[in-house]
Amino acid sequence: MPQNTPDFDVVIVGAGLSGIGSAYHLQDKCPQHSYTIFEARANMGGTWDLFRYPGIRSDSDMYTLGFSFYPWKDPKAIADGPAILSYIKETASVFGIDQNIQFQRQVSEAHWDSQKQQWLLQVTALDQQETLSVTCNFLFMCSGYYDYAEPYNPPIAGAENFKGQLIHPQHWPEGLDYTGQEVVVIGSGATAVTLVPEMAKKAKGVTMLQRTPSYIMNLPSEDAMANFLKRILPAQIAHSLNRWKNILQGMLFYQVSRRWPGMIKKLLKKGIRKALGSAYQERNFDPPYQPWDQRLCLIPDEDLFQVLKEGKAKIITDTIDHIQETGLQLHSGKYLPADLIVKATGLKVQLFGGMKVFVEGQLLDTAKTHTYKGVLFGGVPNLAVAVGYTNATWTLKCDLNGQFVCKMLNHMQKNGFQSCTPRFDPTIFDTEALLDFDAGYIKRAAAILPKQGSKAPWKVYQNYIKDLASLKYGSVKDRYLEYQ
């Protein structure tokens, strides 16, 4: 084998939704390229294999969260975790992608060699406790955006004195029995609103303790129009139509929310007030920010409202002073007895799955880079990332990023290029924060998040239609892309 021949043309890191989707596009559009998928865990599925807490489900519809190329067949548009995991595995099997996954392989370092125009990867074989060296021409990171090993777990005074169990949903103990217990769920995001109605089925009582409320929107778990189309049309056509219907509905709702936030705020609160009746308390559903400053919480079939109305659960808006042996003392003076405390306090952002990137021996400082179309990184050759939207379904952007990478790889092969490096020009573009988003996990990650430019192609628009034109149908020839 010639010295400069890599082990693989492309290495994909991560076998979750984005990794499986990117592998499909690579097989479909670049069949001449060899590839493998390195997955640090023992199973595929990413988020949907990691999280095992009660009631785990999608926080968006499966026609947009699912793959564009493989229909979602389940009648439920808002699906539970096991159904989503099964769908990912089925997709990987149908297209033979599962044959290219290497499990328990964690990529710890990536070193770019400009002489060979290759990446040298340090890969830990977790099942064998040894480090492997693997080379590839192109590295595609599909490892998600958060730390799988360590969640955001802020300390609470007195936690060491608690006599019950204190857990985080990211590491849910297998077989945990909370039947007949008093449960306090700390948090107000998607995980909290999912846990409360599910745990209320067995617990003596469940309290959702929130520092600030979130916007909550109810949707039916089954999409009647989608199911109708699936009955009368071929599966892929129905799936595509449902996907586009939901994309356009979501974009319209987002734009209206940003333009007329007061109207949307009233509309959402009116829906909650109607669902809860006398159980409605204004302070528990009145966020101090505008709709879509943070993600909306989606609940199916009014499940959260139902348990609140029946008295099986309650919401308290307050802050914790300290934890005692048998419960939580709040700053308001209230005391919440608890047998089990669940800290649904969120995620810890991590880029590249914790992998360190070196370009010409220099450790990459991601906070000093700029993202090109939200896919590539300024000054870094042959490295792409699959990331999603903050204002829409995650998979939509990942799908477009995968298609853009394939176009770029084909362009490189056709013209005899070995590398592509985006070059940011600070004399033309201003530097801006990557995301205009107020969520806590984004604020906490400011020191590691890359930047964006003030206009295209360095601007991240969070807009599917613009990205469709730019990534799927746009050119890969660009004055800011340096091919060698």
**Encoded amino acid at 369, one letter:** T
Domains recognised in the chain with CATH numbers: 8-149+348-483 (3.50.50.60), 159-225+262-343 (3.50.50.60)
- Is the peptide bond prior to 151 cis by the omega test (within 30 degrees of 0)? no
Question: CA 464, 64, 84: angle at the middle one, nearest 5?
Answer: 145
Residue 2 has pLDDT above 80, yes or no: no
Global confidence as pTM:
0.94
As given in the structure block, the two tokens for residue 248 are 């356009």
The span from the first CA to the last CA of the chain, in angstroms, equals 23
User: How does DSSP assign 119-138, residue by residue?
Assistant: EEEEEEETTTTEEEEEEEEE
How would residue 390 be classed by pLDDT, with cut points 50, 70 and 90?
Answer: confident
The alpha carbon of residue 59 and the mean position of all alpha carbons in its chain are separated, in whole angstroms, by 10
How would residue 6 be classed by pLDDT, with cut points 50, 70 and 90?
Answer: confident
Question: CA 66, 435, 352: angle at the middle one, nearest 5?
Answer: 60
Residue 1 has pLDDT above 50, yes or no: no
pLDDT tens profile 165-202: 999 999 999 999 999 999 999 999 999 999 999 999 99
- Could you say which DSSP state residue 67 is in? -
pLDDT tens profile 7-50: 999 999 999 999 999 999 999 999 999 999 999 999 999 999 99
Contact assessment for residue 386 and residue 141, using Cβ atoms and an 8 Å cutoff: yes
Contact assessment for residue 458 and residue 425, using Cβ atoms and an 8 Å cutoff: no
Q: What percent of the chain has pLDDT over 70?
A: 99
Q: What percent of the chain has pLDDT over 90?
A: 89
213, 312, 341, 319: which is closest to 269 by C-alpha?
213
100, 126, 98, 113: which is closest to 6 by C-alpha?
113
Q: Which residue has the tokens 């909550």?
A: 216
**pLDDT (mean) for 269-297:** 93
As given in the structure block, the two tokens for residue 366 are 């991601």
Q: For the packed helices 235-259 and 261-276, what is the interaxial angle rounded to 10 degrees?
A: 110
Residue 328 has pLDDT above 70, yes or no: yes
pLDDT tens profile 329-347: 999 999 999 999 999 998 9
d(CA 433, CA 373): 14
Residue 284 has pLDDT above 90, yes or no: yes
- Residues 6+ away with beta carbon under 8 Å from 358: 109, 110, 111, 112, 364
d(CA 61, CA 59): 7
Residue 374 has pLDDT above 60, yes or no: yes
Contact assessment for residue 148 and residue 354, using Cβ atoms and an 8 Å cutoff: no
pLDDT tens profile 104-161: 999 999 999 999 999 999 999 999 889 999 999 999 999 998 999 999 999 999 999 9
Extended beta strands in 253-353, E state: 297-300, 313-317, 320-324, 327-330, 335-337, 340-343
Return the pLDDT at 77: 94
Alpha-helical regions (H) of 200-310: 224-232, 235-259, 261-276, 303-309
d(CA 204, CA 245): 41
Give the HSE-up count for residue 213: Cα atoms under 13 Å, Cβ half-sphere: 21
Output the average pLDDT for the chain: 94
**pLDDT (mean) for 396-404:** 96
Return the pLDDT at 319: 96
How would residue 444 be classed by pLDDT, with cut points 50, 70 and 90?
Answer: confident
- Cβ neighbourhood burial of 440 (10 Å; 0-12, 13-18, 19+): middle
